[in-house]
Every structure is written in structure tokens, then in C-alpha cells.
Amino acid sequence: MISDETLENVGKKRTRRFEYTAKYKTLEQKISYDTQIPLTDENPIDEIISHIYVTNKVLPLFYKDIADAFHRFVDEETWKYETEIGDAIINAFLCGADSTDDPPYVREFPELTNTKPSEALQFADQFQFIMRNSSPERLKIIIAWERKMEDEMLSLIRARDFELDRMYRKCEQAVNASITKDDRVIPESGQHLSCLNEQIREISNNYAQQIHILTSRQRKFYRNMIKSLYEHDEFPAEAEITLSDDTTPVKRSLSTVSSFDTTKTQSNLSLDESFTIYLGAQLKTMHNARLLTSPSLTDLCRPPVFFEDDVCATRRLQMNLTLYSRSLISLIPKAKEDIHRETNDNGDDNDESLLPVGSLYVTRHSNLSSVQVIYHLVVDKSLEDDEISSRHPCINGLRNAIRLSAKCGVTTFTIPLLLVGKAKEHMTPNWCMKRAELIFKCVKGFMMEACSGSSTAGGGPPTATTHFNVNFVLPEDLQKIIYAEILELFPTIFHMVPSVVM
């Protein structure tokens, strides 16, 4: 019978003291450190060893000896921990213990042994099969449905924004009307403003419910369509009928393209430079880096408006083919960006919650133009005004994003170089250069750290090294001299691959 004390300890970490005496001839040093067993991914063993060096003021002479001893200590304690749990559960089973006394995961195991794979895994396999084996005609229908659902969601979003803007204008007019010329507030205006605020809340809640219902309906329809193609090799009847009745091709006029070319020609501050870089001192790894400007990070998630329908369909097909691959593309915007723009047929819903500065929450997307993963970095207003150091929580958030990218097969990530969306008056060339140098050096170190491990993402065997494509994005309304100085700064931090002269 497994004891209550053991049940409480099953699956929980426990603290163990590491004690060791390092000796060299007549010199010795005693080391002690409390650590939790088992270790977690958030606290790698190399970081703990470095912390031991600092807290115990270890002499460099004993670094290797203490590191080897701590590795052996962790292996031994982890083995004891797992053995104790396994023995306790086996003894309880042999003694005929009541199943109600077992840990939750033990009670759930018999129910899961014969179940089918999860719905998410089934859909991923089905979706990849359809994308790789369907005829061009069927792929066109699938993409047409995606665009139709996108238009439905955007129409609802526009209606919501129109209603809210109208109510905000009413509130502004009511506030102005409630104040007399001598700055006295009219008492009767308070009730009117309360009614307007209540209407705004009702409109917001109403549209939030409509968006949720439309998202659920579109996702269910889309997944059923993929499932029908996979299992029955045909579209559902309602899919073909509805699409043929409602879908009309949307053509872009040539004036749109010409206007874009004019705007692009007028812009003198555009920047798009690519580099090939080496990382590492002995075992070097090669990566691609890119410096570019953009009005907003969200613009990188949407297709350009001047693309023809066939071009958009081609880009969409390419996105679908790489959706479940090991070459995913990510973006690191501020956490306050609006991601509820379209139905996310393959990805996850986002639940907003309060998180401390520097935290990351990750969302997966199937509906964006060129991004599948978004690392939402939680920031505060001080990030845009104050000078920061490498110990700032947001810098640690970047580190976590890069480590997670290496672990999960995300090979391309886009970072706002200055950690701001738009340029402001206080962003002098000196301020921008300090911030850019800090981000360059930190990202370089984080990439070197990430390359020391291997990818554990699905779709193939673990890779020994990771190849990154990193995009550094700058606001396009900065001073022109700042772009030139940042271009000169880049080769001083990163080791460039020599150019081949023909």
C-alpha cells in the first residue's frame, strides 16, 4: 500500500544539497549548494553550475572538477527520485491498493491506452496529406474557401470598428457639451455619459460573441472539409454549392499597383540589406541576417494589397505546405498587438491574461501571410523611453523566444531592433545606436547558446546544429543617418562571411 507521504511527493520536485570538497595538492575548497531535483528546462545545468561558481567564489582551478562532480550528483539524485516513484507505484499495484489512492496520471492511464490519437494530431496529418497530394483544382477550391472566410471575418471586424468609432465620437461630443465655458461640469450630463458607456460595452460584448461564433463555425467547417477530402476523396456537398454561389473573384486594378510604385519611389528611407554571418569561435555555424524597415510589424503578417489573386493564392499555398514543417517563421511583436483579425483555422485561440513584463505567450497561426508563430512579448511604456541593459526582463524574453525557436523547429524569426513600433522625438541617433548595439550583442549571444543544442521538433530526426534566418526590423520614419550608422555597426558585432569576387 503506497503511503500518503509518498503520494504527496510523487511528481513533485524536492530539494537536495550538493556538497563537494575540491582538492589540489595542499589547496582545498568546500562547496555546498541546494538544488531542486529533477532539473527543469528553465534552469539548465550549465547555468546552475555558473551560479555555484559565483555563490561559492570558486577558484578557476576547480571549475572542471566541480562541474563534473555536480553532473554526477544530478544524475544520481534524478535516478533515485525516479526509482523511488516507480517502486512506490509498483508496490502499490502488487499489494492490491485501491485505485482511488493512486496519483491522477496513474488512474487516467488505462483510459488512454486504447484511445485514438488526439483530434489535433489527426487533423495535422490529414492537412499535410491533402496539401501534398491533391490536384491543383482542389487546392484552388481550398484556398478560395480560406479567402472567403477571411473576407467574412474582416467584414465583421470592420462593422465592429465602425460602430465603436461612432460611439466614441458621441462620447467625445457629450464630454465637450457637458463642460461650460467657465469649466464647470453640468450635473445632468453624468447620466448621459453613463448610458453611452453602457452602450459601448454592449456593442463590444455583442461583437465579441459574434466573432467567437463565426470563428467556431468557420473552423468546424474547414476541418470537416479537410476530413471529407482525406476520408472520402470529395468535398462536402455544401462546400461546393456555397462556394459556387457566393464566391466572386476579386481583381486588383492597375491603378493600385501604380500608386504603390509611386509611393515606393518617393520613399528615400527604405532599407533592406541581407548578410551571411558566422557564429561561434571553434565550431562555427552559418546564418542569414537581414536589416529592413517596415511601417508596422503587423504589416509583415498581411499580404501586400497590390498582389494579384494568382500571386496571393501561390503565397497561400506555400504557407499551407510549410505549416507543419520544421522551417516555421515567427514574429516577436508587443503583446498589445491585435491578433484577432481573421479566423485561425489550424492554430490556437488566444486567452488574454495579465503577465509580468518580459513574459512571452505564444500563438500559432495559419491565416497570416508569412508568419506561423507569434511570440507576444509583454512590455511596458518605459521600454520606449528609458535606456535598458542586458538584464532587462524584455531582453530575457527575447532569449526565451530564440531558445524556444531552436527547440521547436522555428528557423526564421523577426525582431524589432529598437524594441519600439514607431520613432519618437526622444530617439536621437545616440539613443538608437545604443539600443541597436545592445540588441545585436544579446541576440548574437542567444543564437550561439541556442545553436549549442538540437531541435526536438517533429518532422525529422534531431539536427545537430540549427540554422537561423533573423530579420531585424526598424521603423521606417527614423532619420536617414541612423540607418547608415546601424549598417556600419552590424559588421563590427557579427562575423561576416567573406564575399566571393568573380
Nearest to 367 by CA among 339, 335, 399: 339
Reported pTM? 0.62
Q: Which residues contact 328 (CB under 8 A, 6 or more apart)?
A: 322, 372, 373, 408, 409, 410, 411, 412
Mean pLDDT over the full length of the chain? 78
pLDDT of residue 490: 93
Q: Are the beta carbons of 359 and 398 closer than 8 angstroms?
A: no
Q: Per residue in 119-149, is it b (16+ CB within 10 Å) or e — as a string?
A: eeeebbebbbebbeebeeeebebbbbbbbeb
Q: Regarding predicted confidence, which is higher, 300 or 479?
A: 479
Give the phi and the psi of residue 411 in degrees, each rounded to 5.
-95, -15
pLDDT of residue 264: 43
Mean pLDDT on 7-31: 78
Summarised one tens digit per residue, pLDDT across range 205-220 is 999 999 999 999 999 9
Summarised one tens digit per residue, pLDDT across range 374-400 is 898 888 887 887 788 888 889 999 999
Distance CA 224, CA 347 (A): 15
Whether the pLDDT of residue 191 is over 70: the answer is yes
Q: Regarding predicted confidence, which is higher, 97 or 204?
A: 204
Summarised one tens digit per residue, pLDDT across range 76-100 is 888 888 888 888 878 777 776 555 5
Q: Regarding predicted confidence, which is higher, 2 or 78?
A: 78
Query: Which residue spans within 385-467 are E strands per DSSP?
Result: 410-416
Whether the pLDDT of residue 361 is over 60: the answer is yes
Q: Which residue has the cell 514574429?
A: 331
Give me the residue spans of the domains in the chain.
4-112, 120-246, 259-496
pLDDT of residue 183: 60
Per-residue pLDDT band at 26 (split at 50, 70, 90): confident
Whether the pLDDT of residue 258 is over 50: the answer is no
Strands 14-24 and 410-416: unpaired
CA dist list (Å): 256 to 50, 151, 296, 305: 58, 19, 20, 8
Distance CA 404, CA 398 (A): 10
Q: Which three cell numbers stand for residue 378?
A: 509583454
Q: Is 455 left (phi over 0), alpha (psi -120 to 50) or beta?
A: beta
Q: Regarding predicted confidence, which is higher, 421 or 226?
A: 226
Q: Which amino acid is at 330?
A: S
pLDDT of residue 253: 39
Whether the pLDDT of residue 127 is over 90: the answer is no
Whether the pLDDT of residue 488 is over 90: the answer is yes
Per-residue pLDDT band at 457 (split at 50, 70, 90): low
Summarised one tens digit per residue, pLDDT across range 272-287 is 889 999 888 777 888 9
